Amino acid sequence: MTTLPAATDVLGWLDDVAAVRRTAGLQRVLRPRSALEPVIDLASNDYLGLSRDPRVVDGAIQATRTWGAGSTGSRLVTGSTELHAQLEDELAAFCGAAAALVFSSGYTANLGALTALSGPGALVVSDAASHASLVDACRLSRARIVVTPRADVAAVAAALASRSERRALVVTDSVVSVDGGLAPLAQLHAVCRQHDAVLLADEAHGFGVCGPGGRGAVAGLGLAGEPDVVVTMSLSKSLGSQGGAVLGSRVVIDHLVNTARSFIFDTGLAPPAAGAALAALQVLQSEPALPARVRAAAAALATAAGVGPPTAAVVSVVLGEPQGAVEAAAECLRRGVRVGCLRPPSVAAGTCRLRLTAHAVLTDSDLARVAQVLTEVLARPGRPLGGAVPAAETVR
């Protein structure tokens, strides 16, 4: 029997890294929430309030009874059901696209779309504010990457004009997740059209909130269905379920089925999630006023927080350093309002913030209570709040 040498502390460096995080106020912990809590939710991305809607829950239950708890395999083996096909058809029809392809998450949808549409010998021009999933997709793509300043159309045009690559892809979030800002999609599309490039827009935070009936910012600008536009989206925000999707031309979707690694080698979206997403989409179709309710609630939140008018569901309140933001979020929670708290690397150093998300189900009473809490908590920005401070549950 071979005698192994004594183990050395090969992972001891992890303690050092954790100590640095704690000193900087950037240590994160998981704090499971209970099923029923007497708090007003301004932290989740459940924009339409559908995650607990009985119709959506029933959609998940019926799908479970019909198809089982799991999809049992990858989409190309046993993981594609008639339910997945129906969800894809209805998503495409609602959003004005020729076809759609459902992934297990919005993250894998971005990975699959970007890497499959770029690759060696291609140029990817990525907005500096792009979501981490798009950033990671850029790194995996093996394409040449140019990162341009946020919403800088001229910089995008310059990158495209000077390229030597035959293929080019411009990627951006339609709505920036940390502050709700809108991308200049119409101008970006015009530049892409001028320079024979494809525009990929992530509608994770635009779908269900922006555009006609919540069809998204791309549809709101009349760009839905354009052959040089590809849309990615999440099923876990406005649709209150789980999963992601890519919408585009049929040739694009066929290409993804055959080349997108995060589609080919991943287990298909579980039927309960697909059933819930389909039911939520049908609720959105039957209640087209829901997106307007979200935007109205966001406007009320912005007024209460003393910040400028929002363009989508997200309201951002910049406080500066990590400790002040963490304490403010914890104080809001103590007073019955859960808010998000963003710190580096989710946001740049010195811009730690509270992230408030509007929901269609917020009542006038809820909004009045939120206004009172925000007024009290934000009255002394940047100064320690009194009392013992539990860690905020929604810190990233």
What is residue 57's predicted lDDT score, i.e. its pLDDT? 98
Q: Percent of the chain, pLDDT > 90? A: 89
393: confidence class by pLDDT, cuts 50, 70, 90: very low
Is the pLDDT reported for residue 387 higher than 80?
A: no
Locate 204 and state its tokens.
Answer: 């994770």
Render the burial of 6-42: b for 16+ CB within 10 Å, e for the rest: eeeeeeeeeeeeeeeeeeebbbeeeeeeeeeeebbbb
Residue 2, judged by CB atoms within 10 A of its CB (0-12, 13-18, 19+), counts as exposed
Sort residue 65 into left (φ over 0), alpha (ψ -120 to 50) or beta.
alpha
323: closest CA among 37, 25, 23? Answer: 25
Is the pLDDT reported for residue 2 higher than 60?
A: yes
Is the pLDDT reported for residue 203 higher than 60?
A: yes
- Distance of alpha carbon 303 from alpha carbon 368, whole angstroms: 11
Mean pLDDT computed over 220-234: 98
What is residue 389's predicted lDDT score, i.e. its pLDDT? 33
Q: Among 66-70, 182-186, 188-192, 318-322, which stretch is predicted with the lowest mean pLDDT?
A: 318-322
Strand order in the sheet with 314-320: 40-42, 337-342, 352-357, 314-320
- Distance of alpha carbon 287 from alpha carbon 70, whole angstroms: 30
Summarised one tens digit per residue, pLDDT across range 19-74 is 999 998 888 888 888 888 889 999 999 999 999 999 999 999 999 999 999 999 99
What is residue 388's predicted lDDT score, i.e. its pLDDT? 32
Residues with Cβ within 8 Å of 44's Cβ and at least 6 positions away in sequence, in order, are 51, 357, 359
Mean pLDDT computed over 232-256: 98
Sequence spans of domains, the chain: 29-47+313-377, 54-286
- Distance of alpha carbon 90 from alpha carbon 100, whole angstroms: 9
380: confidence class by pLDDT, cuts 50, 70, 90: low
Mean pLDDT computed over 286-297: 98
Give ∠ CA 158-106-250 in degrees, rounded to 5: 70
Q: 29-47+313-377 has which fold?
A: Aspartate Aminotransferase, domain 1 (3.90.1150)
Locate 222 and state its tokens.
Answer: 């009349």
- Fold match, 29-47+313-377 / 54-286: no
Mean pLDDT computed over 4-27: 91
Task: Evaluate whether 253 touches 37 at the Cβ level (below 8 Å).
Answer: no
Q: 54-286 has which fold?
A: Aspartate Aminotransferase; domain 2 (3.40.640)
